[in-house]
Amino acid sequence: MDQTPPELCTRIFSFACRDTGYTGRSLSLVSKYIRETSKSVKLQSISIHGHIQMMAFAALLERTPPHLRHLRYLFVSSHDPAVEGTDEARARYCLLSDKIEKLPKRLRDGSDEEAEEEEEALRVEYECLYDVLQSKAKLYNARNKCRGKPKADAFESILRNVASTLEILEVNLDHDTAIHTNVNENLALPSLTDLITHGAFPLSSTHQLHPPMLKPCHSLRRLHVVASSRQVHPTFFLRQHSFAPSLSHLRFSGLQQDEWVAGSVAIALGLVEPAPSESEVRPLPATIERILIEPSQPPPPRNGGCGTARLRYSLLLKGCRKLHERDKRVVLLRAPTLDEQHPAAPGDESEWLDLVNGGEGCWATHNAEQRGDGP
């Protein structure tokens, strides 16, 4: 390989370095020649998770000469792993909950003294584990609050150092990081084509009418918004035009009690006239070709005093189906089953990696509702 022309090596490595960054790091260890011929592309695709990696990568970019910061594909999740022991305690807690739920009748009526003692032991351990989980959750939240500002600063530093070359970006910020992310200074991402956002970015997590963090990005063609109560709000249609004026594809995922979505999309597409209370909804760009809407699993039957949550979910689906009948650019996707690991989970890079390597990623429609799927 050391006899291969350097330009050809670099070209080959540009195709190889389209993962989470592992290949680029590995190439640097092969030989001096391989390190030199791969250094311009080894950072082109990077996935970073949590406080430690965010701080380290921000510092690495500050030390890297600008001509070597050729980062095209970036996945950022600020979510940190759970406090040590949390996963084991939660697994045991769920197991005990299942055992207690399935206790035979003889353990419930007190007719078997030995069995009654066994039940009591299960319940004592169950309650102790509940206290342990509560304690670990408090520790995790306290840790997150302390790390929120440093992670937000690191995130902004990373974006500003790679802004000119970034093409595909997925961002998943936890609440404490999002509230410290600076939305007062507009950031230009002139090469960005795909943005997948969980939570607030590039919109404010605390002020619904605050200007977006991004300057108008005319290269941005595809925007995937994974729902949260602060992100998919009717004012989204007021603010998205200011940072994404040339969209061709828009997707909403994880919707549940967002029955207003179909009405706002219909107004944004010019299918209906807005009522006075809906004047904040602005038209989607004329370049729009496809809108995908994916609901989450329905809420439990008893969620809401009068079944309100289930009713709102039903209205969401009904409105989206009617919207699809009026405009075939709108596609309603089936909700993922409980057995499916949904890509919206923090740290899941699968759809981002698929996009990086030329796949459809989150824009696949193989799970679209077919006629007759709805009630």
CA neighbor of 231 nearest in space, from 201, 269, 264, 263:
201
352 and 259, same domain (yes or no): yes
CA neighbor of 290 nearest in space, from 319, 322, 324, 256:
324
| pLDDT (0 to 100) of residue 229 | 47
The DSSP string of 40-99 is TTTTSEEEEEHHHHHHHHHHHHHHS-GGG----EEEEE-PPPPPTTHHHHHHHHHHHHHH
| pLDDT (0 to 100) of residue 228 | 59
The DSSP string of 188-220 is --TT--EEEEESSTTS-SS-TTSPPSBPP-TT-
d(CA 320, CA 269): 13
114 and 219, same domain (yes or no): no
Count the domains in the chain.
3
Cis omega (within 30 of 0) for bond into 211: no
| pLDDT (0 to 100) of residue 328 | 92
d(CA 100, CA 317): 36
224 and 357, same domain (yes or no): yes
Domain-located, residue 283: yes
237 and 340, same domain (yes or no): yes
Which of 140, 155, 175 corresponds to the end of one domain?
A: 140
| pLDDT (0 to 100) of residue 205 | 58
Domain-located, residue 227: yes
345 and 208, same domain (yes or no): yes
194 and 336, same domain (yes or no): yes
| pLDDT (0 to 100) of residue 288 | 95
261 and 357, same domain (yes or no): yes
Q: Could you say which DSSP state residue 102 is in? A: T
| pLDDT (0 to 100) of residue 303 | 47
29 and 110, same domain (yes or no): no
Three-state DSSP class for residue 275: coil
Domain-located, residue 229: yes
Which strand (E) or helix (H) includes residue 243? helix 236-243
Domain-located, residue 322: yes
What the block records as the tokens of 112 is: 């078997």
Domain-located, residue 324: yes
The domain of 111 spans 86-140
Domain-located, residue 177: no
Question: Within 13 Å and on the Cβ side, how many CA atoms surround 267?
Answer: 19
d(CA 52, CA 74): 16
110 and 252, same domain (yes or no): no
d(CA 317, CA 271): 18
Q: Which residues contact 82 (CB under 8 A, 6 or more apart)?
A: 136, 140
Rg (CA), the chain: 24
| pLDDT (0 to 100) of residue 345 | 58
With a cut of 70, which residues of the chain have pLDDT below it? Answer: 1-2, 103-115, 183-185, 204-210, 228-235, 237-238, 278-279, 302-307, 338-347, 371-375
Domain-located, residue 57: no
> In which order are the strands placed within the sheet that holds 45-49?
45-49, 73-77, 168-172, 194-198, 222-226, 249-255, 290-295, 330-332
What the block records as the tokens of 12 is: 């080959």
The tens digit of pLDDT for each residue in 186-241 reads 789 999 999 999 877 887 655 555 677 888 899 999 999 887 544 455 567 667 77
pTM comes to 0.85
191 and 321, same domain (yes or no): yes
| pLDDT (0 to 100) of residue 230 | 44
198 and 314, same domain (yes or no): yes
Domain-located, residue 72: no
121 and 197, same domain (yes or no): no
